[in-house]
Amino acid sequence: MSDKIKYISANEFSGEVLSAGNVVVDFYSTECPPCEALASKFESLSRVYGDDIKFIKIHRQENRDLAVSLGVSSSPTLLFYKNGQLIGNRLSGGIKRSDIVANLELLLSPEKAVYLKAGIECSLTECDILIIGGGPAGLSAAIYTAQAKLKTIVVDKDLPGGQVKVTHLVSNYPGFAEPVSGYMLMHYMSEQAKAAGADFRSAVDITDIDLKKKFIVVDDYETISAKIIIIAAGSSPRPLNVKGELEYKGQGISYCATCDAKFYEGKHVVVIGGGNSAIEESLFISKFAAKITIIHQFDKLQANKLAQEKAFADTKIEFVFEHEPREFIKNGSSVNEVLVENLNTHQLKTIGCDGVFIFAGMIPNISEIKQYFELDNWGYIKTDKDMKTNLPGIYAIGDVVSKSFRQITTAVSDGTIAAISISREFEKIEEPSELINA
């Protein structure tokens, strides 16, 4: 624990924060994964900046009135004060080191900020297994390799949990008779990996990577070198590349129903897509919206039969088949019209709405490393039956892999196969470098 961090309560706030010079305050909670992810960053930064900036921690629940009076409603929240005045950005959720540094530097003179940054030393951590991505695939692999007593580190640019942590309900993951919240399912998985002994670097940026030499640099601050690297970076929504889509992302264009459906209470929403995600997420949006228009390029849905039946039975949902969007139009603060083309007649028409959700498939999150790998025609990484890629010592699992079905169960299966295969190799070979070059 750094001696540069001070824990205070509400009655000390005025003296320790408002009457002081440069201060950063961390409102934290216990049993809070994003707070745990922040703690190590806060501590290491206190060692660099702690002589010039006061690092304060306040337990949010025990000092609720103070937190409420400052508008702090979630943990962790970082506030930056200069001479009693709030400055910079209020940071919360999965907080990145680079964002903290940018705000700390606002408290310092430019010369001092450059001087202190130059003094930051990059540390080196060595491990057996480095897993890039903490979704179901990466976490399953971590549970197995950590239980096999291999030193395992999971690195994620976000908080662990992958796409599932923002999926409202999961009804097809074995072991749960009732649908389970995606967030809780992934919470259980990451806690299980931690309990097994896996280490995490969460909400970090990989600022350098060399898969041949098997190292990454995290936040320009920590080099992690590994005997084996597992790529488990998942996939992201495929953009449609339709006019207005990128410009109005976050202004009426969304890719995440769990995150944004609540903003459409009583409103009319257009959903683009007809696969599992589009239909299942439409059923969720239907809890909020008054009307949903699903626009699909084919003449029937591709979703599973159960989801289709529910969607057809939902009186709020209507379907526009064999049409594609051509432009998202925004008059005012949010997208309020979609220009669509009938694929048979090529006639154009506009559909009025209050917002649009796009579920048009996914692309693998490997743009910075794809040059290392043999890929299939759709850009996914080819592996063998043990999840080995063409690059010695590098495995790939989950949604980044070339395969027919991308589900939580298939991601978990890939993670299991890779981890057991790696553990067996470690057992067989005393000197793991033999395995890497095998």
Ligand X SMILES: Cc1cc2nc3c(=O)[nH]c(=O)nc-3n(C[C@H](O)[C@H](O)[C@H](O)COP(=O)(O)OP(=O)(O)OC[C@H]3O[C@@H](n4cnc5c(N)ncnc54)[C@H](O)[C@@H]3O)c2cc1C
* CB of 367 vs ligand X, minimal distance in Å: 9
Q: Could you tell me the two tokens for 106?
A: 């606002």
Q: Which stretch binds ligand X (CB under 6 A): 32-40, 43-51, 227-235, 428-436?
A: 227-235
**According to CB under 6 A, which one of 277, 293, 413, 423 is a site residue for ligand X?**
277
Q: Nearest CA to 355 among 261, 283, 286, 274? A: 261
Q: Which CB sits closer to ligand X, 365 or 383?
A: 365
* Residue nearer to ligand X on the CB measure, 22 or 236: 236
162 near ligand X, judged by CB under 6 A: yes
Question: Does the protein bind ligand X through residue 163 (CB under 6 A)?
Answer: yes
Is 156 a binder of ligand X (CB under 6 A)?
yes
Contact status: 358 vs ligand X (CB under 6 A): no
Q: Residue 274, interface with ligand X (CB under 6 A)? A: no
Nearer to ligand X, 104 or 269 (CB): 269
Closest CA to 138 of 93, 186, 176: 186
In angstroms, give the least distance from the CB of 350 to ligand X: 27
Chain positions 169 to 208 lying near ligand X, rule: CB under 6 A, are 170, 172, 206
| Burial (CB count within 10 angstroms: exposed 0-12, middle 13-18, buried 19+), residue 68 | exposed
Beta bridge partners of 351: 338
**Is 33 a binder of ligand X (CB under 6 A)?**
no
Identity of the residue, 41 or 60, whose beta carbon is nearer to ligand X in the bound complex = 41
CB atoms near residue 383 (< 10 Å): 24
Residue number with CB closer to ligand X (60 or 165) = 165
Phi, psi of 146 (to 5 degrees): -70, -40
Choosing from 157, 214, 296, 316, the residue that interacts with ligand X (CB under 6 A) is: 157
Angle at 155 between CA 154 and CA 159, to 5 degrees: 100
With b meaning 16 or more CB within 10 Å and e meaning fewer, what string describes 313-342? eeebbebebebebebbbeeeebbbbbbbbe
Query: In the window 360-399, what residues touch ligand X (CB under 6 A)?
Result: 365, 398-399
Per DSSP, the residues of 328-384 read EEESSSSEEEEEEEETTT--EEEEE-SEEEE---EEES-TTTGGGS-B-TTSPBP--
Residue 400 contacts residue 233 (beta carbons within 8 Å): yes
Find the shortest distance in angstroms from Cβ 241 to ligand X: 18
Please tell me the distance from the alpha carbon of residue 21 to that of residue 204, in angstroms, as a whole number: 29
| C-alpha span between 351 and 358 (Å, rounded) | 15
Residue with smaller CB distance to ligand X, 70 or 396: 396
Closest contact distance (angstroms) between CB of 360 and ligand X is: 11
Shortest distance (Å) from residue 300 CB to ligand X: 20
Specify the stretch interacting with ligand X by CB under 6 A; choose among 79-87, 115-123, 217-225, 407-415: 407-415
The span from the CA of 109 to the CA of 272, in Å, is 49
Strands 222-231 and 215-218, bridge-based pairing: antiparallel
Helices assigned H by DSSP within 50-165: 64-69, 97-106, 110-118, 136-147
Task: Give the nearest distance from C-beta 93 to ligand X in angstroms.
Answer: 13
Q: Taking CB under 6 A as the rule, which mask of x and - marks residues 135-154 in contact with ligand X?
A: xxxx----------------
Q: In the bound complex, what is the minimum distance in angstroms from residue 376's beta carbon to ligand X?
A: 16
Q: Which of 311, 323, 320 is nearest to 285 (CA)?
A: 311
- Residues 234-253, interacting with ligand X (CB under 6 A): 234-235
Indicate which single residue of 72, 104, 131, 132 sits in contact with ligand X (rule: CB under 6 A): 132
Q: Of 167, 282, 413, 423, which lies in the binding site for ligand X, with binding defined by CB under 6 A?
A: 167
Rounded CA-CA distance 38/23 in Å is 17
Contacting ligand X (CB under 6 A), which of 95, 253, 335, 408?
A: 408
Instruction: Please state the closest distance from residue 164 (CB atom) to ligand X, in A.
Output: 5
How many amino acids of this chain bind ligand X (CB under 6 A)?
A: 32
Residue 254 binds to ligand X (criterion: CB under 6 A): no
- For residues 23 and 14, what is the distance between their CA atoms, to the nearest angstrom? 12
**What residues make contact with ligand X under the rule CB under 6 A?**
132-138, 155-158, 162-164, 167, 170, 172, 206, 232-235, 277, 281, 365, 398-399, 406-409, 411
